[in-house]
Amino acid sequence: MKRIAVLTSGGDAPGMNAAIRAVVLASHYFDVQVIGYRHGFNGLLEQEYQILQSSDVNNIIQRGGTILKSARCQAFTTDEGGRQAADNLTALKIDALIIIGGDGSFRGAVHLGRFWSGKILGLPGTIDNDINGTDATIGYYTAIDTALESIDRVRDTADAFERIFLIEVMGRHAGFIGLSAAVCSGAEQVLLPELFTDNLPDLDSLAGHIQTAQKIRGKCSYIMVVSENIWPGGVMDLADQLHQRTGIDCRPVILGHVQRGGSPVSLDRILASKLGVYAVEAARAGKTGIMIGEHNQQMVEVPFQDTWNQAKALDPYLLHIQQETFDLEKNSNNP
């Protein structure tokens, strides 16, 4: 193996730079050259790349975003796009391609495999943590901390004014960030997509919960963590509807892309570093068509299709403790 290419695709995630660094350093250790494609799969189509020297990855492990830039690329999903990308990889004599991204990127990897015979490996990089086969994805731990820091701040002002806040967090269609942030912040309520697969949250019961909190605790702060895409009209509309039902002022906060940025926490840097090194070794060993993940502190190789075929489950213990928190009346009666 002489030449490995690496790219970052889809939503960027803190720790992607740490993964690029690990790929570069591990490859150089084995005298393998590294090409970095820029702007995700767009770079593959446009042959937009740079040779990555070790000096290019100095001082990047602490930086959020991705030095290779990222993109979502529709043109790549066509047969013509797949063929063009394959031709470009062949022209550059690339032996293996490492794709850092989410499930959309892994679908892209499978698409590319129809046209190109080189080795294709994936590293899970998304704040959403919605990739089956790995306990965590690169960026997830940082996103929880970022959301949590903001929610803690909102709690301070909510306490001061004894107000109700609805805080919308990212996750696309998964509730991992929402559940973790809710548990860690002691939120009174959490709305996650996994809990409302067939129906919308019931407004009367949400309003009733807020009123119960005020009945038991007196006028008090109340935090509801709401996953994005769960309520048509978003958290602004939900806050409005709850205000109409309860007569209590409900303030919406959308955390948004703040959750995607920032310096990766150590857990993300460590995960990204391990996965990057393992991917290079796996490519050298001739492995292909797999995502490298971590499960029970072991590196695992997961066929691309398995990363999206099965939905990843939320942690049952975190769900349980959040439901205990939710049961205000029962908790208030406990000795």
Q: Which residues are catalytic?
A: 128
Q: Is 250 helix (H, G, I), strand (E, B) or coil?
A: strand
Cα distance between residue 133 and residue 180, in whole Å: 19
Least distance to ligand F6P, CB of residue 142, Å = 12
Q: Considering the complex, what minimum distance in angstroms separates the CB of residue 234 from ligand F6P? A: 12
Which residue sits closest to ligand F6P, CB atoms considered?
Answer: 11
d(CA 315, CA 303): 23
- Strand order of the β-sheet with 3-8 is 49-51, 33-37, 3-8, 96-101, 119-124, 290-295, 298-303
Q: Confirm or reject binding of residue 125 to ligand F6P (CB under 6 A).
A: no
Q: How far is the CB of 109 from ligand F6P (least distance, A)?
A: 16
Which residue intervals of 8-49 are DSSP H helices? 16-29, 40-46
In whole angstroms, the minimum distance from the beta carbon of 147 to ligand F6P comes to 11
Q: Considering beta carbons, is residue 72 or 245 the nearer one to ligand F6P?
A: 72
Please say which residue, 14 or 118, places its beta carbon nearer to ligand F6P: 14
Number of residues that bind ligand F6P (CB under 6 A): 10
Q: With H, G, I as helix, E, B as strand and everything else as coil, classify residue 288.
A: coil
Tell me the closest approach of the beta carbon of residue 38 to ligand F6P, in angstroms: 18
- Burial (CB count within 10 angstroms: exposed 0-12, middle 13-18, buried 19+), residue 50: middle
Paired residues of 190 in beta bridges? 225
Single residue of 103, 128, 194, 294 touching ligand F6P by CB under 6 A:
128
Which residues ranging from 169 to 188 are in contact with ligand F6P (CB under 6 A)?
170-172
102 binds ligand F6P, rule: CB under 6 A: yes
Judged by CB under 6 A, the residue of 5, 6, 7, 11 near ligand F6P is: 11
39 near ligand F6P, rule: CB under 6 A = no
> Which residues inside 246-305 make contact with ligand F6P, applying CB under 6 A?
260
Cα(154)–Cα(265) distance, rounded to whole angstroms? 22
Among 70, 84, 88, 126, interactor with ligand F6P by CB under 6 A: 126
Considering the complex, state which of residue 233 and residue 335 has its C-beta at the smaller distance from ligand F6P: 233
Q: Which two tokens stand for residue 260?
A: 């995607």
**What residues contact residue 80 under an 8 Å CB cut-off, 6+ apart?**
none
Q: Which is nearer to ligand F6P, 27 or 259 (CB)?
A: 259
CA distance 202 to 238: 11
Q: Which residues bind ligand F6P (CB under 6 A)?
A: 11, 102, 126-128, 170-172, 228, 260
